[in-house]
Amino acid sequence: MLDEYKSCKLCPWECGCNRFSEERGKCRCGAEAVVSDYMPHFGEEGCLVGNNGSGAIFFAHCPLSCVFCQTADMSQKGKGTSVSTVRLAEIMLWLESEGCHNLNLITPTHVIPSIVKALHHARKKGFSLPVVYNSGGYERVETLKRLEGLVDIYLPDFKFWKPETAEKLCGAGNYPEITRVAVKEMHRQVGDLVIDESTGLATGGLLVRHLVLPGYLDETRQILQFISQEISPETYVNVMGHYRPCWMAKSIVPINRNLTRAEFEAAVEAARAAGLYRLDKTHWHLYNLLFDDNGK
């Protein structure tokens, strides 16, 4: 599978570059996965974190160029260490040994061949955690189809609805179209999110994240309506209110400020009006610390 790096078409950019050479595509990554960090992670949704944390592996580089990226050192600058597939498998096994409830692959799209090979290595040594595919939502359906049976929980973002907004804020005008199709494929594979009542932990299914952006509530409403009407009203959704202007966003209107309480509450109401009721509330109590305008 690593041969796919020779003419890479893993993500929707389909650059076709030879990543074994000096060629680099939109993701800026070579033919080895670059890991920025790995740990039992407690900052995710409660149904992923549980008592022992989600086993997060943060991959450097990204197919998108979001101007408000909160992890730009990793995703845009490529900060991290190149690892072999054997080393990646060792990390997976270590996370399981630490008691993590799942393997959380963060920004994995551009290194899928390395991940799949590492998973095979790890499973030969007894690795058995559920696999979480945690991405920006910008995925080729053809690539996703090859992950069927390997991924237990899909965790995509759905960032923008309008092509012009996507072009302005992440450099990919086709993001809305691509993500709509990708999320449908994810749901086809794993269905609605299933949570074990005895543990409160997700065991499989789709969990969609949407970060509410200042000044773009109209797009938030359309995204939430799409999820309810075109995916499933049973979709588990995390409407996120922690936006703050990071990376290059401080110079871009209207995202050059924190979200307000009123905007977040309007987004939550939009989700409910769309018929979505499985809303994650893990971090809602923390958003008050970030709202500007004294929480108005």
Q: How does DSSP classify residue 217?
A: H
Under-70 pLDDT residues of the chain:
292-296
Are 276 and 229 a contacting pair, CB within 8 Å?
A: no
Write down the pTM of the prediction. 0.97
What integer pLDDT is reported at residue 78 of this predicted model? 96
Q: Per-residue pLDDT tens for 32-72?
A: 999 999 999 999 999 999 999 999 999 999 999 999 999 99
3 state DSSP class of 98: coil
- Report CA-CA distances (Å) from 53 to 96, 98, 112, 130: 10, 9, 23, 13
Q: Per-residue pLDDT tens for 161-199?
A: 999 999 999 999 999 999 999 999 999 999 999 999 999
Rounded Cα distance, 176 and 261, in Å: 26
Sign of CA dihedral 63, 65, 66, 71: positive
What integer pLDDT is reported at residue 288 of this predicted model? 84
Structural domains in the chain plus CATH codes = 28-295 (3.20.20.70)
**What are the contacts of 173-176 at 24+ separation with CB within 8 A?**
174/12, 175/64, 175/137, 175/138
